[in-house]
Chain A
């Protein structure tokens, strides 16, 4: 049970949602955009999130778009993660999204909610960082298209009153070779430890990470070292750690030392997979 009440709005256009948000703010309210809403509901129950008005974006057609248009894949923010698995237009996204939470929860968790959430993991953003996708955001000034790597720095840096509408990916990235692995400390259904996703483009491996730090990230500096074939796999991985953002997560799911141990072995496996043609666990 959520200990406070809020108003509920379900606009049917980007403009209506943006104007509604602006009006509520001008009235001194604290509105939040709501898609799957799992984080608002679960953190709201713990009084870790407060809102007095939610704006449900699931009624906005652009937020439900899923398909190709002019050589680009359009993924609406209000798509459930399970839909991305069941209608898999983007194999890397299917693989990465299918590791978030569990199947039933993924019927409720949405792409936009995962990318814009507060949890550390937010794995659904990794494929888009690797594919250099663009984000479409809506707000009171209208709609704008921005490269995700310009806008995602630990989190999607939306301006006040803006919300994620879509993520757009060039078709050229969709079928690129990829690997995505989620490591847990225990079993196959435990809480995540780390996720590593990689995509090979123009014979260069790109890497994005979740669960290593308190935010998902992609590092150009790490990629340069990891692609340096003059070194052994292990040397490359260890040298790439000089460029890891800090601090490394250290919590009940795994110490910082353990996370780096798992990350090292996982990255060595990735390099073997792409360069020797087989994963070695």
Chain B
């Protein structure tokens, strides 16, 4: 094993429209940098294996599991976390339809739904199912989550 000490990096990240600077190791995950360096704790650590989706954020318009992204890979991208959504239609719909129980998976689900509605303003049920199967809810609120998403569609989308 090499004894050489890898260098540290000072990186710029654009998160929720704001520029942040962070001192990181190249091996630091985006999830941990968001939570521990930037104080944005909305993205949740769950499985840390890319299975559960609790850490989902949006990068350049696409949902990404931030436990599968090195922070250094995110330089130059536009990152949106749950903190960047304020009273969005999908957040309101989750409340109105009780689309959560313990709430731990909720930020990840909401970010996935937000990206879905941005990229597919009129998704069919198959597309909704395909996208949302990326996230797991241990409390099994799946029907309510589907109702929340479809209610936003009925209201005319994600404007």
Across-interface contacts of A188 in B (CB, < 8 A)? 133
Known: A8-B9, A8-B72, A30-B2. A44 touches B50 (CB 8 A): no
Q: B133 to A41, Cβ gap below 8 A? A: no
Interface assignment of A231: CB less than 8 Å from any CB of chain B: no
Give Cα A29–Cα B69 distance, bound, in whole angstroms: 23
Q: Once the chains bind, are A7 and B6 in contact (CB under 8 Å)?
A: yes
The chain A residue with its CB closest to the CB of B45 is A1
Q: Which residues of the partner chain B approach A7 to less than 8 Å between Cβ atoms?
A: 6-7, 26
Tell yes or no: A103 within 8 A of B by CB.
yes
B63 touches A107 (CB 8 A): yes
B133/A38 in contact, CB under 8 A? no
Q: Contact between A37 and B73 (Cβ–Cβ < 8 Å)?
A: yes
Residues of B within 8 A of A29 (CB): 2, 4
A6 touching B26, Cβ below 8 Å: yes
> In angstroms, how far is the closest chain A Cβ from the Cβ of B69?
7
A52-B6 CB under 8 A given contacts A1-B32, A105-B134 = yes
**Choice from B27, B64, B133 contacting A6 with Cβ under 8 Å:** B27
- List chain B residues, Cβ under 8 A from A101: 50
Q: Verify A44–B27 contact, CB threshold 8 A.
A: yes
For B81, what are the chain A residues with a Cβ–Cβ distance below 8 Å?
none
A45 to B45, CA, bound (A): 13
- Residues of B64-114 at the interface with A, using a CB-CB cut-off of 8 Å, are 64-65, 67-70, 72-73, 112
The answer to the question of A5 belonging to the interface, with a C-beta cut-off of 8 Å to chain B, is: yes
B112, chain A: closest CB distance, angstroms: 6
Judged by a CB distance under 8 angstroms, whether B48 is at the interface is yes
> Judging by beta carbons under 8 Å apart, are B2 and A2 in contact?
no
Query: Which chain A residues lie closer than 8 Å to B70 at the CB level?
Result: 8, 37, 41
B147 at the A interface (CB under 8 A): no
Q: How far is the CB of A77 from chain B (nearest CB, A)?
A: 16
Q: Would you give the 0/1 interface string for B38-63, flagging 1 where the beta carbon is closer than 8 Å to chain A?
A: 00000000001110010010000011
B37 to chain A, nearest CB (A): 13
Which of B50, B112, B133 has the largest count of A CB atoms less than 10 A from its CB? B50
Interface centre among B28, B32, B63, B73 (most CB of A within 10 A): B73
Instruction: Determine if B143 is an interface residue (Cβ-Cβ < 8 Å).
Output: no
Q: Which residues of A contact B155 (CB under 8 A)?
A: none
The answer to whether the Cβ of A102 comes within 8 Å of any Cβ in the partner chain is yes
Within 8 A of A (CB), among B1-26: 1-2, 4-7, 9, 25-26
The answer to whether B1 touches A50, judged by C-beta atoms less than 8 angstroms apart, is: yes
Smallest distance from the beta carbon of B144 to chain A beta carbons, Å?
A: 18
**A54–B26 CB distance below 8 A:** yes
Interface centre among A6, A8, A36, by most B CB within 10 Å? A8
B64 and A5 form a contact (CB under 8 A): no
Not counting A4-B27, A8-B72, A29-B2, a sample of 20 additional A-B residue pairs whose C-beta atoms are within 8 angstroms of each other reads: A1-B32, A2-B29, A5-B5, A7-B7, A8-B26, A8-B70, A27-B2, A27-B4, A36-B68, A37-B68, A42-B50, A44-B27, A50-B1, A56-B73, A98-B130, A102-B134, A103-B130, A104-B53, A105-B65, A105-B68
Closest 5 CB pairs between A and B? A104-B134, A8-B26, A102-B134, A2-B27, A5-B6
What are 27 contact pairs spanning A and B, CB under 8 A? Answer: A1-B29, A1-B48, A5-B6, A5-B25, A5-B27, A6-B26, A7-B26, A27-B2, A30-B1, A30-B2, A36-B68, A37-B68, A41-B29, A41-B70, A82-B62, A98-B130, A103-B63, A103-B130, A103-B131, A104-B56, A104-B64, A104-B131, A105-B65, A107-B62, A108-B50, A108-B69, A189-B133
